[in-house]
Structure 1
């Protein structure tokens, strides 16, 4: 039933009660009919009874985040040391996986060396992969491969097939990068 005095309607809509949510639980709620929940909401003031500092803390985007949760506290609390501190990895599976990830990531960003000693950046390596060329290709190899792929993917040369335009765009971008690269000059 509706919690409004002298109302016999069904109380279908929840409104804050006298006890707010806190450590002890979600708090109390009142249940009103549609007309009375509208009346309650029009007069409800969340900040009622707060001083200026409490209102400022409640409006802060960081409100409620000023302490760590129990699971991540280093010491103290009811449970003491968090459960993750007790974790044992005798085979070092997690640590090895992380180290492998770091090695692969570093290798992807490390400049490669051509046989003539010129460094090739990761972007240039990706461009060579796009064109399907080895690391030691020279400028004429790049130009020849670009011309061949241009004829294969361009709609004017392949009978108007526009489904290959994305590949054509990648080939042109790769060639534009490689033709200005000092390793291929």
Structure 2
């Protein structure tokens, strides 16, 4: 037996066993990687960004409980996943850019105030405390189901799906409850 055959046999013996689901994902990757790369290249600049998105798509795919629904034609689903992940990436960049701009503005205003940012002024601290009192008051006056959905979502940082499971309602109901709570709080804060 030559060295290369022995090495190949050793690699197969050392490789972890592949489940049927992992084999399906690998097959989907082999069949659709090129098409996804072409699609992603329309929106992304570098090969590294494209590779990262494709890797994220297949990582998310491998985290799914089942991919049987993709057996017939997975490409449209994969393209939708890729598009959504690219959009999410753009949103994150936009949020980061807005945050950096706000920090720069805050630093400039802080320099104009002799090194104190207006976020640190006593007036801002008092205003923040007053707003907190208003928010707590609004939450206490909410119906129990709206109050619970809001607190679990916004205070406990649970996803809508987790809140829905905990409350025994649909995600849509949770979304509606949270939106209602936010609307009430927002209008009350605008009133002063």
Question: What TM-score, normalized by structure 1, do the two folds share?
Answer: 0.28
Structure (1/2) with the larger strand percentage: 1
Which structure has the larger Rg? 1
